[in-house]
Amino acid sequence: MIWFFLTSGLFLGFSLGANDAANVFGTAVGSRMVRFKVAAAIASLFVLLGAVMEGSGTTETLGRLGAVNAIAGSFTVALAAGLTVAWMNRARLLVSTTQAIVGAIIGWNLFTRSTTDIGVLSQIVATWFLSPLLAALLAILLYLLFKRILGKVRIHMLRLDAYTRTGLIIVGALGSYSLGANNIANVMGVFVPASPFKDLPLLGSANLHGTQQLFLLGALAIAAGIFTRSQRMMYAVGSEIFKLTPILALIVVLAQALVLFIFASSGIKNGLLAVGLPPIPLVPVSSSQAIVGAIFGIGIIKGMKGVNFKMLGRIASGWVMTPLFAALLSFIALFFVQNVFEQEVVHHAIVPSAAARPTAVAAPADTLSIPDTIQTITTIPQLEELQ
């Protein structure tokens, strides 16, 4: 049965590969600096490395991901998120996989009558606005910096081409590595307890653990998504919102990487606190939203000429529709899985109904001792790591 349940994780991985590879290599491929096949090969290799080498280290993530506490529930939530992303991609919209998962989880919360922490949810939703804005601002600043530097340093066009190409490949490879490391746990993590794989001895005393084999399988699904379905999305990111030159492509990818770093850096948070400024919440953000924000920032500084507002509007509407659609799909699918296929989608012993706990919503999140509330608080931000 586990093999059947695994398919939804693999499908989510496939959808994630098709959608998210465009964030790391879209501008490079769209600006024709890196060929699609090369980008797909590098992205797949580094997703695999990230997944196998660092994915298994995210045990904390896996533990917190357990809020969806029955494997049939996990299967359904992953399926709903995967279908949402695949459907949006079919409409050629770059969506946030994070939004899809958050929506699907909320669908699960609603279906199982579990509490959704509004504070955490609003923090996540705030980043959906903040990260594209910050990415746009950073892209503008980087643009001005690059313009100043390139005006002073006389580099031959061909050498600049080589530097830009190398920069795009390095940033793309690093992005792919973190994509694999951060997201594989969310794609395959729920299946770890039921993993059918045994440790596999490698050369010497090294072992490929069962979890790593599971993650390797998930990473292969992501790679399949990258190779077969991401090309259209890469061109959409790289050329359809605003036609990017190679240097602009590099600026956009750098701005995106900086946004992801800022939202994950405790150093910056502590620094802001030290000077009495409000800290940036340490919430992993959507790379899809960051990349679109950065491209829009470049469009602004270039005088809005050439910005494809139609495409931008479609993407923005996709961001609104994704969590709603995923939540609805998850809710409906859970209903069928529970009532038609008679699968347990929630362990009620762990997650009592909200009706039985009238004080749970009103009480401060950090003082609650009810397991599902704690799980909900911790689960949603972790799921945000999908991006």
Partner 1 sequence: MLFKKNKQIEVQIDEFLDLVIKGGLIFKQAVRYYLQGRLEEFENHLKELNDTEEKGDDLRREIESKLYLRTLIPESRGDVLGLMESSDKVLNQTTENLLQFSVESPVIPEELHPVFLDLADYAVNASEGMVKAIRAYFRDLASVRDNVNQVLFYRKESNKSAEKFKRAVFRSELRLSHKIHLRYFAYHIELIAEEAEDVCDRLSIATIKRYI
Please, which residue, 169 or 312, has the CB nearer to partner 1?
A: 169
Q: At what angle do helices 210-235 and 71-90 cross, to 10 degrees?
A: 20
**Of positions 37, 90, 147, 348, contacts partner 1 by CB under 8 A:** 147
**Of positions 161, 316, 324, 357, contacts partner 1 by CB under 8 A:** 161
Q: Rounded to the nearest whole angstrom, what is the least distance from the CB of residue 48 to partner 1 in the complex?
A: 24
> Among 49-57, 155-163, 334-342, 357-365, which window interacts with partner 1 (CB under 8 A)?
155-163
Q: Please, are residues 246 and 33 in contact by the beta-carbon 8 Å criterion?
A: yes
Count of residues interacting with partner 1 (CB under 8 A)? 23
DSSP per position, 206-248 = -EE-HHHHHHHHHHHHHHHHHHHHHHHHHHIIIIISSPPPHHH
Query: How many Cα atoms are found within 13 Å in the side-chain-facing hemisphere of 204?
Result: 2
Distance CA(76)–CA(91), nearest Å, equals 23
**Of positions 22, 233, 248, 255, contacts partner 1 by CB under 8 A:** 248
Please, which residue, 35 or 347, has the CB nearer to partner 1?
A: 35
Please tell me whether residue 276 binds partner 1 under the rule CB under 8 A. no
Please, which residue, 91 or 162, has the CB nearer to partner 1?
A: 162
Please, which residue, 162 or 363, has the CB nearer to partner 1?
A: 162
Please, which residue, 167 or 284, has the CB nearer to partner 1?
A: 167
Chain centroid offset of residue 214 CA? 19
**Of positions 151, 201, 276, 358, contacts partner 1 by CB under 8 A:** 151
Which spans of this chain sit near partner 1 (rule: CB under 8 A)? 31-33, 35, 143, 146-147, 150-151, 154-159, 161-162, 165-166, 245-248
